[in-house]
Structure 1
């Protein structure tokens, strides 16, 4: 049986501390899942890339064979409701990338196969949420991908805050601000979920996997509107 690719992209020119931690956490969690499912032969390790020079070149080679409907590409970055960008750090002066540039880079620089029929998941907090009249980042990105004639893939965004786990799961999400604050403090102290966080919070809060991620559907009218919003005035 063919293994299903899980490609994770940090679309920036350099790595952040959080990206390094996330990469290691996801790698450990995936390895644990593979080892626990010995009868399955379709599970593959995560593969991690950035948009720096050497890694970007390796990504371009790798994406040529990433086509099938079971393939998943994660785009990692900080996001907010109605944002037109995702950023490397959660700060105003952080390196960032727009939905338009991200789609263009996938097409022109890293050569994502236009026949790609898998899923692209914008792994950022609230990436599926609009804000007033502003569409979500995932929605804007989906429109740009349609514009570049990627008609076979699904675009997903996330509707709440995302917090990366250590050994218990590779992603846990909650909209409870007190839980998020506690989780972040434990992560900063390098405490594993299995040593206390499950016992402390599972009785009072449902720390559920990101089951509320949303597939972003795009109509022709929506695409035209977003293109007008994101295309620089000439």
Structure 2
């Protein structure tokens, strides 16, 4: 299995606490179940070792998850607190000197509706893929999601164990349910079942 890095294109102070808690929780579950899941590393826009970690991704099984909140046909990702947002051009520019153009792994825009277009506005992942391809990233593969997706590992109908899920709720609804555990999650299935590979155009 390749390396899996989660990248939040925002300052660490704006996003760190929730995702670090999720990573710790995932690692704890990993030890308990003997199954590897979660991210190997969580990185932020101002992480001092960002480039070192990305340049170490050389295998086709390596994955970069870019996290944020998105909407169909959107051109921006926003942080969990809503204090920060970045447009697709900024995300691309921030990665240019950190990821080798020979990168042949996967880049997944792990955000709600990141593979969904709206009217004449292409999906965020389509915009991202087009721009990265134009910058010379000809071997990378790009993926987005067709539904709202959650970062918490939860039970999913007709699946054993816990999974990151595609949800009926938007991210605000997910947070409300996460804080009120007895309400459960209204899941549609595993997040990966609603993942779409997006080809540059």
Give yes or no for TM over 0.5: yes
Asked if 1:214 is matched to 2:201, the reply is no
Q: Is the 8 A contact 1:122 1:156 kept in 2?
A: yes
Cα deviations across residues 196-229 of structure 1 (Å, max 9, x unaligned)?
456xx6xxx654111111111123xxxxxxxxxx
Shift of 1:126: 0.7
Asked if 1:101 is matched to 2:90, the reply is yes
Asked if 1:61 is matched to 2:63, the reply is no
Rg larger for? 1
Aligned equivalents of 1:26, 1:159: Cα separation in 2: 24
Runs of 5+ consecutive residues of structure 1 not aligned to the other structure: 220-234
Say which of 125, 128, 140 aligns to 2:127: 140
Q: Is the 8 A contact 2:26 2:38 kept in 1?
A: no
Alpha-carbon RMSD across the aligned residues, in angstroms, is 2.7
Where does residue 6 of structure 1 map in the other structure?
4
- Number of equivalences: 194
Runs of 4+ aligned structure 1 residues displaced above 6 Å come to: none
Q: 1:172 to 1:30 in 2, by over 3 A?
A: farther
Q: 1:23 to 1:128 in 2, by over 3 A?
A: farther
Asked if 1:185 is matched to 2:176, the reply is yes
Correspondence list, 1:13-24, <5 A: 13-16=11-14, 19-24=16-21
Q: 1:96 to 1:67 in 2, by over 3 A?
A: same
Is the helix fraction higher in 1 or 2? 1
Q: Is the 8 A contact 1:30 1:170 kept in 2?
A: no
Q: Secondary structure in 1 aligned to 2:121?
A: coil
Correspondence list, 1:85-164, <5 A: 85-89=76-80, 91=82, 94-108=83-97, 111-164=98-151
TM-score when scaled to structure 2? 0.82
Runs of 5+ consecutive residues of structure 2 not aligned to the other structure: 156-161
Correspondence list, 1:167-182, <5 A: 169=162, 171-175=164-168, 181=173
TM-score when scaled to structure 1? 0.72
Q: Secondary structure in 1 aligned to 2:11?
A: coil
